[in-house]
Amino acid sequence: MGDDRDLLALMRAIAGPTAPRNASERLAADPDLAGAALVAGATRSNPDDHFFPDHGIHVYAGDTALHVAAFAYDVPTARALVAAGADVRARNRRGAEPLHSAANGGPGAAAWDPARQAATITYLVDAGAEPDALASGEVTALHRAVRNRCSAAVEALLAAGADARRPNGNGSTPLDLARGTTGRSGSGTPAARAEQARIVAMLETVTGG
């Protein structure tokens, strides 16, 4: 099994800027990397070694290549990783599973692609992800997608059976988060506000709110 250096190289092949990516070659050379998790990862004191700028990804202890493929909205690579033994329910040190990673991104992010994001979410659920899996703070992928203002991701999660009424650890439901401010950079842009309006409308329809 590869060490963190080998796994980080695979992660960078998945989320890096080069095309064609060599992730498939790295995985073929060491299939055990599909099931490997980082021993170390980004911390407050050492974030840079585990930051992938093309996707704005920080990887943490416990993250797997499938977390990164999910963040990159890369269904073919995710499918190859699962076929090689990746755990679709793997949790990093923050409790986040690959499905949580797929709910990242949003308006203004260079690598954000709503259609690919939704397809990734659908694939992961079909592969065994739990739509209401909880990360730290009792945050689901739906909470994260709402907060990130990703309406296509919200729609995909609702279609997959995510609970639109489940509160997070602070007691906020997805609709609460949709109606409030996120504090995220760019959340006041026209694109983000348009996403917010779509999300509020969807959640109000589902919850009768």
Q: Is the pTM of this model over 0.85?
A: yes
Cβ contact 32:2 at 8 Å: yes
pLDDT digits (tens, 9 = 90+) for 116-171: 999 999 999 999 999 999 999 999 999 999 999 999 999 999 999 999 999 999 99
Q: Where are the beta strands (DSSP E) in 33-156?
A: 51-52, 57-58
pLDDT digits (tens, 9 = 90+) for 161-177: 999 999 999 999 999 99
- Angle between helix axes 114-126 and 151-159 (nearest 10 degrees) is 20
How far apart are the C-alpha atoms of 77 and 98, rounded to whole Å? 13
Q: Where are the domains of the chain?
A: 1-93, 97-209
Band (pLDDT 50/70/90 cuts) for residue 19 is very low
How far apart are the C-alpha atoms of 158 and 153, rounded to whole Å? 9
CATH 3.40.50.300 fits 97-209, yes or no: no
Strand duo 51-52 + 57-58: pairing: antiparallel
- Of the chain, the end-to-end C-alpha distance in Å amounts to 50
Position 161: which residue type?
Answer: G
Position 200: which residue type?
Answer: V
Average pLDDT over residues 60-65: 94
Average pLDDT, the chain: 90
